Amino acid sequence: ICFTPISLCLGPEDQILYVANDTEIGSFVYPYNQTHGHTQLARISDSARIIGMDALFHHHKFVWATQFNPGGIFYKDLQDRNPITSNSGVIVNFRRPRDISADWVTGNLYWTDHSRMHWFNIDGEPFAITVNPVCGMVYWTVIGDHSHIEEAAMDGSLRRILLERNLRRPTGLAIDYYNQRLYWSDSELSQINLLCFVSGISQPFRIDLFEDYIYGVGMKHDVFRVHKYGKSPAEKLSLGVERASSILAFHRYKEQEVSNPCAKMHCAFLCLLNPSGARCVCPEGKILLNRTCTDTNISGDLCHPACENGGRCITNERGESRCFCWPNYSGERCEISHCKDYCLNGGTCTGSPLGNPTCRCALGFTGPLCEKRVCDGYCLNGGTCDMTLGNQPVCHCLAEYTGERCLHHICHHYCVNSKGCTLSGFGHVECVCPTRYEGPKCETDRCLRCRGAPCIVDEETGDVACKCVFSKLEKWRCTVLPTRFSDFFPKKRPVTHLSLFHIHYELV
């Protein structure tokens, strides 16, 4: 995201929270509850479903997208208070839309449907979308086997993957325009993310942001708000909206007033923003030639030799013909297959317009090219490896070993001080104890009986003897002597050794 330093403090006045369910869009004034005012902005057919919405404050328009019957993009004049009339169709009866975002600088609309984002063909299922006209950028999520978030200039250039790790089902996007930060919600991970994540929200589905709060709708149709830096727990908003599906937090200052580079462009069809300004574009099937949208030749007649592997022959702005290839192919005639012999061991190859192809590996293989067996070197100490349906290795260990990878010898795992053990046919472990230790697990140190006195271990016989000091040897143990030694030695004369001012008594 680009960075434009802006310092602005806004109050709650004129803040409006728009919440939609399948057939109705309602507006709530701050502080967003049923008692502080609720207005029905629009109502649509019961057979349709509202899936996304946005507002154009300076154009006095409110736009939304619906699925099913009718499916399309519609708008309403914000100055019209009638919830039923004046719902005009921008695009009707087109493929299932997923989300919509409005460029308030030029008035252009961007949207996704189930297989396509405006201007781009995409692998996976495009879902949420949001635009940043101040920077000339657009962001969208793609849900599939490799879910990710992409960005591009609003004219279609500079496309790249912004994030592809730690994503499951990114269903919502929102931009903090004043701090230039991108937030997204993941309904499967139950997280709202920035650089770190805000958790504790059950399956956030759609989100929007204004000032310090993120507003959202969950998969269970609950409406909530949470501090964007996680300073307070999530708060459920009681708005009385049944089965809420989409949300928009709006304030007139949210749409920053910036100059419109398209005002002086006089484009024949459409002017789209980018980070350096704007450029004119043409509808599909036409190219910009001498500032005019001209039909392209797609029959292949002008390309010699003809395009292969489904490539299209197009004419560029200089009138030159060339082949436009699918992501799996390249070359002058699209004759080079990027996927040929690319994935090993039965892996399935998928081309990408953004770089190298990707491989989906067969069961038992892994690696960028499926070049590595998952089980190679995984199980240790003679263990055998099997694969789960999820392509995860599972070890079957020999009787003497245990652990996820058969790493631990069962003697070391079971016996405490043993140097070895024997294993019966029934799996019973018998520890071989060193002479100093005893017990089923060799857990008892026989020298502890000496109570700190010197312990003598006979390695040949296995006997342990104590050399008692200030104590009495009794039943192979050192017992503490009473204060008066004469009680024990009335007839025996102690032998005294003087060493470093300590007197040691020994039995003689």
3-class state of residue 342 by DSSP: coil
Output the pLDDT for position 380: 94
The length of the chain, given as a count of residues: 508
What are the sequence ranges of the domains in the chain? 15-249, 415-466
Residue 451, Cα to own-chain centre: how many angstroms? 59
Q: Cis link prior to 70 (omega < 30° from 0)? A: yes
Question: Which of 247-256, 313-322, 455-464 has the least mean pLDDT?
Answer: 313-322
* Rounded mean pLDDT, 442-456: 85
Kindly list the strands in the beta sheet with 125-132, ordered across the sheet, starting from the edge strand earlier in the chain: 125-132, 137-143, 148-153, 160-163
Answer with the residue of higher pLDDT: 212 or 8: 212
Residues 168-190: what's their mean pLDDT? Answer: 87
Measured CA to CA, the distance from residue 388 to residue 491 in angstroms comes to 80
Looking at the DSSP bridge assignments, the partners of residue 444 are 438
- What band does 381 get if pLDDT is binned at 50, 70 and 90? very high
- What pLDDT, on a 0 to 100 scale, did the predictor assign at position 318? 65
**pLDDT tops 90 at residue 356:** no
Query: One-letter amino acid identity for 428?
Result: H
Interval 245-296: pLDDT, tens: 899 998 888 888 889 999 888 888 889 998 889 988 888 767 777 777 877 6
pTM of the model: 0.54
Query: From CA 438, how far away is CA 208, in angstroms rounded?
Result: 68
User: Rounded to whole angstroms, how far apart are CA atoms 61 and 73?
Assistant: 13
Q: Return the sign of the alpha-carbon dihedral for residues 154, 160, 162, 168.
A: positive
Digit-coded pLDDT (tens) for 1-28: 454 444 444 455 578 899 998 888 988 8
Q: Which two tokens stand for residue 414?
A: 């079971």
Percent of the chain at pLDDT > 70 equals 77
Residue 502 has pLDDT above 90, yes or no: no
Cβ atoms 118, 137 nearer than 8 A? no
DSSP 489: -
Q: What is the pLDDT averaged over residues 363-385?
A: 92
Which CATH superfamily groups domain 15-249?
TolB, C-terminal domain (2.120.10.30)
Minimum mean pLDDT range among 116-120, 126-130, 451-455 = 116-120
DSSP 400-456: TEESTTS-EEHHHHH-SS-SEEEE-TTS-EEEE--TTEESTTS-EEGGGGGTTS-EE
